[in-house]
């Protein structure tokens, strides 16, 4: 009998029955605790406030320091507070706080749980990539070789300087037969380019362009854009007025596009959650959201916290999306495989 008992519970007495009895005692103790619902009300309120911010982020006003856009830029990161609140709820032995935290977790999963699943596919007929190469990049040649190695058929680069353009042109010449540089943005392609022109995004200088790529599956309008940077300042808050103005102008250009199949590549200095980019995001799909795995954060490269480098499509099916290894830039390159020919299997 003694040997049988030792086999069931283990030499340290930690068998299934022992664990079940501990859980039962814990639940019995909580049931007998009359203050379990009264304790932790502040924790419960904090959890519910967090849930409210996530659910109603679109109602946070932008009038004061663009607080709404700032919240939406880092919205997924609000989830880091949930496990902290969960631990505190257990420490406080508060049923009220525990239920509130679980509800908050459900809200976060409803908003972002879909991004945690792998939605990548294996088909597609066009690979595209975009990279803000950083004007102060110490190794433009190495950066060019790294992004070309991604296998992209079409490559967009942003934040090009006049002195660095020849370096990129030389490094990419063997991979891409066709290219065009407009202002501080450029497009390199394995397929012929046509109807190339700068796009006015209301800045006074060129930071956006448009071209028709003669892809094997049919012509595609490709836009490259680098929207103005935003800053977080103590007095002014989230300074994004010029970015928002340029986003509206870019959205109007894309809405007037004559081709049905459109790809937007670039550094938009904003996330898909940011309402200020609605002129663009309302008419296009993010390849990361539709066919990626994870959040695909691209900035800053040292510790990515936001997806501000975007690949968006209209009239085209996203197949897979991913980030590339870091280069000499402060942004990560991003790439996607898409299906241009809707009739292809």
**Which residues of the chain fall short of a pLDDT of 50?**
1-2, 4-11, 234-237, 344-345
* CATH number for position 165: 3.60.10.10
Q: Measured between alpha carbons, how far is 124 from 14 in angstroms, rounded to an integer?
A: 53
The SS3 of residue 190 is coil
DSSP line for 55-73 = HTGGGS-STTTTHHHHHHH
Q: What pLDDT does residue 213 have?
A: 98
The answer on 112 and 131 residing in a single domain is: no
The answer on 162 and 109 residing in a single domain is: no
Q: 72: exposed, middle or buried (C-beta count within 10 Å: 0-12, 13-18, 19+)?
A: buried
> Do 88 and 42 contact (CB within 8 A), yes or no?
no
Q: Measured between alpha carbons, how far is 224 from 199 in angstroms, rounded to an integer?
A: 9
> 8 lies in a domain?
no
> Do 260 and 315 contact (CB within 8 A), yes or no?
yes
DSSP state for residue 307 in the 8-state scheme: -
> Which three-class secondary structure string do you get for 249-294?
HHHHHHHCCCCCCEEEEEECCCCCCCHHHHHHHCCCEEHHHHHCEC
The answer on 184 and 107 residing in a single domain is: no
The answer on 166 and 67 residing in a single domain is: no
> 26 lies in a domain?
no
The answer on 64 and 43 residing in a single domain is: yes
The answer on 234 and 209 residing in a single domain is: yes
- Boundary-marking domain end, from 74, 93, 116: 116
Q: What pLDDT does residue 345 have?
A: 39
Q: What pLDDT does residue 41 have?
A: 94
Sheet holding 208-215, edge to edge: 193-198, 208-215, 218-226, 262-267, 309-314, 285-286
- Boundary-marking domain end, from 94, 116, 138: 116
pLDDT tens figures, 179-202: 999 999 999 999 999 999 999 999
Q: What pLDDT does residue 67 have?
A: 86
> 62 lies in a domain?
yes
Q: What pLDDT does residue 26 have?
A: 59
Q: What pLDDT does residue 59 have?
A: 92
Instruction: Give me the number of domains the chain comprises.
Output: 2
The answer on 168 and 45 residing in a single domain is: no
Q: What pLDDT does residue 21 have?
A: 72
Please choose, from the candidates 172, 150, 176, the residue with its C-alpha nearest in 3D space to the C-alpha of residue 160. 172
> Do 206 and 183 contact (CB within 8 A), yes or no?
yes
Q: What pLDDT does residue 236 have?
A: 46
- Boundary-marking domain end, from 65, 82, 116: 116
> Do 276 and 231 contact (CB within 8 A), yes or no?
no
The answer on 132 and 112 residing in a single domain is: no
Q: Which domain holds residue 194?
A: 126-339
The answer on 140 and 48 residing in a single domain is: no
> 52 lies in a domain?
yes
> 21 lies in a domain?
no
| Cβ atoms < 10 Å from Cβ of 91 | 11
pLDDT tens figures, 247-276: 999 999 999 999 999 999 999 999 999 999
The answer on 295 and 215 residing in a single domain is: yes
pLDDT tens figures, 112-148: 999 988 888 888 999 999 999 999 999 999 999 999 9
The answer on 141 and 194 residing in a single domain is: yes
Q: What pLDDT does residue 173 have?
A: 97
> Do 245 and 203 contact (CB within 8 A), yes or no?
no
The answer on 108 and 137 residing in a single domain is: no
């Amino acid at each position: 009998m003694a040997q049988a008992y030792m086999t069931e519970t283990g030499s340290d007495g930690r068998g299934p029955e022992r664990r079940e009895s501990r859980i039962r005692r814990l639940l019995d103790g909580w049931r007998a605790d009359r203050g379990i619902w009264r304790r932790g009300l502040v924790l419960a309120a904090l959890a519910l406030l967090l849930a409210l911010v996530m659910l109603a982020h679109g109602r946070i006003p932008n009038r004061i320091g663009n607080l709404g856009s700032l919240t939406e830029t880092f919205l997924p990161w609000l989830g880091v507070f949930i496990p902290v609140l969960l631990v505190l709820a257990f420490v406080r032995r508060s049923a009220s706080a525990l239920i509130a935290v679980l509800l908050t977790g459900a809200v976060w999963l409803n908003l972002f749980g879909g991004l945690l699943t792998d939605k990548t596919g294996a088909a597609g007929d066009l690979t595209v990539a975009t990279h803000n190469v950083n004007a102060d990049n110490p190794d433009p040649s190495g950066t060019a070789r790294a992004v070309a190695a991604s296998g992209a058929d079409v490559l967009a680069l942003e934040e090009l300087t006049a002195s660095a353009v020849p370096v990129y042109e030389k490094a990419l010449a063997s991979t891409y037969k066709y290219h065009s540089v407009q202002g501080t943005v450029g497009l390199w392609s394995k397929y012929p380019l046509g109807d190339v022109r700068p796009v006015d995004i209301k800045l006074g200088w060129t930071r956006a362009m448009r071209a028709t790529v003669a892809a094997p599956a049919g012509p595609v309008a490709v836009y490259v854009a680098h929207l103005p940077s935003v800053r977080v300042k103590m007095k002014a808050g989230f300074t994004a007025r010029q970015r928002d103005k340029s986003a509206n102008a870019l959205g109007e250009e894309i809405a007037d596009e004559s081709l049905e199949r459109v790809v937007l590549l670039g550094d938009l200095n904003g996330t898909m959650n940011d309402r200020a980019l609605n002129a663009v995001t309302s008419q296009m799909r993010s390849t990361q959201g539709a066919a990626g795995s994870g959040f695909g954060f691209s900035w800053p490269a040292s510790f990515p916290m936001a997806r501000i480098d975007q690949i968006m499509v209209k009239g085209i099916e996203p197949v897979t999306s991913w980030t590339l290894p870091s280069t000499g830039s402060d942004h990560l390159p991003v790439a996607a495989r898409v299906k241009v020919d809707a009739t292809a299997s």
